[in-house]
Amino acid sequence: DAGVIQSPRHEVTEMGQEVTLRCKPISGHDYLFWYRQTMMRGLELLIYFNNNVPIDDSGMPEDRFSAKMPNASFSTLKIQPSEPRDSAVYFCASSFSSGGGTEAFFGQGTRLTVV
């Protein structure tokens, strides 16, 4: 398996534009997590899904952020409209819960810069 795949690796956009980040979890994993990493706040859990269903989105900073998981192999995190303070590295991670579970496996991240 190639691991968790995120795209794009880098995104530069202008304030007010819509941004969509994409994630392909490891095949067979039933949990998917979206994290945001900044120097000030470290790794923040934004939302996580179990079997494609959003379980906890309390970490989503505001209504401008939304996430979907239409199937077991794909998830998106959308920011509309984007703001400079959204600039961060966004990570997707997946894990498998059965049989004692696994640790969270992370993708390489998407570095978002909003200018």
- Is residue 59 within 8 A of residue 77, CB to CB? The reply is no
The identity of residue 35, as a single letter, is Y
- The stretch near another protein (CB under 8 A) out of 13-21, 64-72, 80-88, 102-110 is 102-110
Contact residue for another protein among 12, 97, 113, 115 (CB under 8 A) = 97
Nearest-approach distance from CB 92 to another protein, in angstroms: 9
- Is residue 92 within 8 A of residue 20, CB to CB? The reply is no
Q: Does the protein bind another protein through residue 21 (CB under 8 A)?
A: no
Site string for another protein, 25-64 (x = CB under 8 A): ------x-x-x-----xxx-x--x-x----xx--------
Return d(Cα 42, Cα 55) in angstroms, integer.
22
Dihedral (CA of 13, 69, 24, 67) sign: positive
Q: Does the protein bind another protein through residue 100 (CB under 8 A)?
A: yes
First to last CA, the chain: 36
Site string for another protein, 59-78 (x = CB under 8 A): --------------------
